[in-house]
Structure 1
C-alpha cells in the first residue's frame, strides 16, 4: 500500500484531502506544520509528500529542499506542492529544491489522484522547470521510464521529432537517391515526409512479438526492447563488479578494557552503536520539551529507536567475552 503525507495547516482542507486520498487505498498521514511534515517524512520515508504552498510560518519550498537533501529520501520519495503561484520563478525554485511537481490551484481532485498514482508508482512526470544539471552536484538521473510511451530518450526525441523532417532534410534525401530508384523523382516532398515518419515510427514505436503467456502477454515497442536489453547488460556488468566488493569481510578493530583486555569488534557495529546513541539522545531531548508528548510523530521515532537499540545490542553481544561463571 502506497503511503502519502498530507501537509496543510488548514484542518478542514487537510482532512478533506486526506479522506479523498484514503478512499483510493493510500495510507495517509496528516501533518499540521512544516516541521512536523519534515520530521515525519524523514522518519517514515513515504512514497509521496503532498504539501500546500501557503503557510503562516515557514516555506514549503525550503522544507522540500531540506527533505530532498537527504539521499535516502530523494531516492524513495517525491514531493508535490499545490500552489497559487505557477509563475516561472516559483516553478524554477521548486525544481531546484527537488520538488517533483507543482499543481496549480484550484486543483481538480481527479487530476490530483491521477498524478499521485504516477508519483507513487515512480513513473516519469515532467519536473516543474528545466534545471541545468551541469550546475548541480549529486547523481545523474536520466528521467526516463520505458513503460511510459509518451517519453523517450532525449536524443531520440531530438533526432526523430517533427522538427527533424523539415524541407531541407527532405530535399537532401531526394538529392542523394535521385537516379538510384525508378519513379522516385515523381514523389513530392509531403509524400516522402509521410514515408520517413512512418519508417521512424515503425523502428521506434511499433509493437513487435508478444512477450509472456496468457494475461501477462504484452506487446513491446522496439525502443522498449532496446532499453530492456541495455538495462540487462548494465545489470550484469554491475553485478560482476559489485560481487567481489560485497564478499569482502571488514577488518576487525579492538576495544581495550581493564577487565577483559582486547575484544575484537566489527567497526560497523561500533558505528551503528554511535548512531543509535545519537538518535536516542535527540529523542529524549525532544520528549523533555513541555507539550511534545502529544506530538504523534514521536511514536514513529520511539519505534525506530527501540528497533535500533535492539539491533545494536545484538550486534555487540557476539563480541562480548563468555561468562566464565
Structure 2
C-alpha cells in the first residue's frame, strides 16, 4: 500500500484532503507542522510527501530542500507542493530544492489523485522548472587551452574578454600613450584593438616552450606557467610552515648524569623502576617490625622484590652511558 504524508496546518483542510486520499487506498499520515512533517518523513520514508504552500511559520520549499539532501529520502520519496504561486521564480526555487511537482491552486482532486499515483509508482513527471541550464553548481569548466581564444575562464573572461576592449577602453589607452611614441597618432582605434587582443592572447593562451620528453611533452601558456610558479611558491611556504610541526618530537623522560647530561629513557621503564622501589621500600619497612621475620609470607614477597629489581635494572641498562676505561 503506497504511503503519503499530508502536511497542512489547517486541520479541516488537512483532514478533508487526507480522507479523500485514504479512500483511494493510500496509507495517509497527517502532520500539522513542517518540523513534524520533516521528522516523520525521514523516519518512515513515505512514497509521497504532499505539502500545502501556506504556513504561518516555515517554508515548505526549505523543508523539501532539507528532506532531499538525505540520500535515502531522495531515492525513495517524492515531494509535491500545492501552491497558489506558480511564477517562474517560485517554480525554479522549488525545482532546485528537489520538489518533484508543484500543483497550482485550486487543485482538482481527480488531477491530484492522478499525479499522486504517478509519483507513488515512480513514473516520470516533468520537474517544476529546468535547473540544468546554467544554474547547476558544484564545478565549472575552464576550457582554456593553448590557442583557444574562447575566454571561458570566468575571471579572465570578465577582465580580458571582448567586452573589455570597448571604444572607451581603447580611447583611454590612446590618450595615455599619446606623445610617448612616434607615429602613434596615426594609429586608428581598430588597429590598436587588434594589437591588444593579440597581446592578450599571447600572454594568456599562446604556448611558449615544451615541457617534458616524448609523448609527455606539452606546451604551456604563460597563464599556466604563472599558476605553476605560484603553486610552487605556495608549496614552499606550506612546507616551511609545516616542517617544524611535522618534525617535532614528543617530550622524552630523561635521566640527569654528571658525565653526559640528559639521557633519554623509556617512560615505561622509569615507571616500573618507581613501582619496584615502592615495593622494596614497603618490604624493608615490614621486615623492620619486631617479630615480622617469623612470617612465612615475607619469603615470597622477598622473591618477588628480587625479580622486580632485576627487571628494572635490565630495563634501564640500555639507557645508561657506557663506562670509559
Shorter chain as denominator, the TM-score bin is: 0.3 to 0.5
Say whether residues 1:94 and 2:82 are aligned partners.
no
Q: In the TM superposition, what whole-angstrom CA distance separates every residue of 1:266-319 from its partner, at most 9, and x where no partner exists? A: 999999999999999999999999999999999999999999999999999999
Cα separation, 2, equivalents of 1:257 and 1:203: 67
Asked whether the equivalents of residues 80 and 102 of structure 2 are also in contact (C-alpha less than 8 Å), the reply is: yes
How many Å separate the matches in 2 of 1:119 and 1:300? 81
Deviates more, 1:277-286 or 1:10-19: 277-286
Q: Which residue of 2 aligns with 1:7?
A: 7
> Following superposition, which runs of at least 4 residues in structure 1 exceed 3 angstroms of deviation?
133-325
Report if the CA contact (8 A) 1:80-1:101 is conserved: yes
Structure 1 pair 286–155 and aligned structure 2 pair: CA distance change class (3 A): farther
Q: Choose 1 or 2 for highest CA Rg.
A: 2
Q: CA RMSD, aligned part only?
A: 21.8
**C-alpha displacement of 1:132:** 1.5
Quick one: higher RCO (CA 8 Å, sep 6+), 1 or 2? 1
CA deviation profile, 1:73-115 (whole Å, cap 9, x unmatched): 0000000000000000000000000000000000000000000
CA spacing shift, 1:150–1:237, aligned 2, 3 Å: farther
In 1, Cα distance between the equivalents of 2:83 and 2:287? Answer: 34
Deviates more, 1:225-234 or 1:125-134: 225-234
Distance in 2 between the 1:7 and 1:140 partners? 38
Question: How many pairs are equivalent?
Answer: 325
Q: Structure 2, unaligned stretches of length 5 or more? A: none
Sort the Cα spacing of 1:248 and 1:19 in 2 relative to 1 into closer, same or farther, 3 A: farther
Q: Which residue of structure 1 lines up, in the alignment, with residue 107 of structure 2?
A: 107
TM-score (norm: length of structure 2): 0.43
With over 3 angstroms needed to count, the CA separation of the structure-2 counterparts of 1:157 and 1:179, relative to structure 1, is same
Gap regions ≥5 residues in structure 1 = none
* Farther-moved stretch of structure 1 (36-45 vs 153-162): 153-162
SS at 1:133's partner residue? Answer: coil
> For the residues of structure 2 that align with 1:293 and 1:88, how far apart are their CA atoms?
99
- Could you tell me how far 1:25 is from its partner in structure 2? 0.2
Q: Give 1:256 deviation, angstroms.
A: 35
Distance across 1 between alignment mates of 2:314 and 2:65: 36
1:136 CA displacement:
3.8
Moved more, 53-62 or 140-149: 140-149
Which of 102-111 and 282-291 deviates more? 282-291
